[in-house]
Amino acid sequence: MRTTTYLGIVIGIAVVYFAVLAKGGDFTIFTNTVALLVCVGGTFAATTLSSSRATIGHVVSAMRCLFLTASVPSARVAEELVTLARQAKAKGTASINPETVSLKEPFLMKGLQLLADGVEPARIEELLRLESDILSEKRHSAERMFRLMGTYSPMFGLVGTLIGLIQMLKGLTDPRAIGAGISVALMATFYGVLLAGLVFLPLAGKVRTLDLDERLVRDQTLAGILAIRVGENPENVRETLEVFSQGKAHDR
């Protein structure tokens, strides 16, 4: 996940950079601090206005997963659950202690605690599915916020352009300066469209992919917990969990 995130950003920046420099272009003419401030500042202001503090927290959590921390590999979860299935088959589910498990994944830990407490399978499934839905909704909130930013960004780029055009036309004394003035004014629109197309909307899609991957791992965890609870053979547990591993992305 992190690999493709960084790769996409690098490729996008490189494409824009070389497109600007093509045929002797000057990159400095594409820099305008005021236009960037109007575009970025306006986008974040409007997004903050339309969101809650909790949503901002969900965005920070998603960004941390996309850029800093690696998600738990599906194969690692399957390996842990098969080991626990062997232990439960030999000593019973009461022997499972979540604190001694090497993989400290919160959803797995909660499932194992329910397992160790002897909770009925139907109740375990109910509680873990509810937990999974809540976690998924947090990712959806982050995705919606990025899509809002992708919507607002071009709008404030246009606002910046209009501000620049109004100021240019009001103080215009030399008609020959119109070309240069319009070029500067259009920078805000350029920034707005670029941020929407290269940053905000792709990140929204990335958060969606992150949610799908995480939900798949949670479904795998739930299937393993329930299989252990009803006393299935460890090899049957392995075969069940391998089905989930085949659908999980591994580019973390």
Smallest CA-to-CA distance from 191 within 231, 237, 165, 160 is with: 160
Q: What is the pLDDT of residue 252?
A: 44
- Integer CA distances (angstroms), 26 to 35, 94, 178, 186, in order: 18, 70, 19, 16
User: What is this structure's pTM?
Assistant: 0.84
Per-residue pLDDT of the chain in tens (252 residues, 90 and over written 9): 678 888 888 998 888 888 877 766 677 778 888 888 999 999 999 999 998 999 999 999 999 998 888 778 888 899 999 999 999 888 888 888 888 888 888 999 999 999 888 899 999 999 999 999 999 999 999 999 999 999 999 999 999 898 888 877 776 666 665 666 677 778 889 999 999 999 999 999 999 999 999 999 999 999 999 999 988 888 998 988 888 876 554 444
Q: What is the pLDDT of residue 176?
A: 63
Q: How far apart are CA 242 and CA 236, in angstroms?
A: 10
Task: Dump strand ranges (E) for the chain.
Answer: none
Cβ proximity of 78 and 246 under 8 Å = no
Tokens 């352009």 found at: 161
Q: What is the pLDDT of residue 82?
A: 92
- Give domain limits for the chain: 2-70+77-246
Chain-centre distance of CA 92, in angstroms?
Answer: 39
Q: What is the pLDDT of residue 16?
A: 85
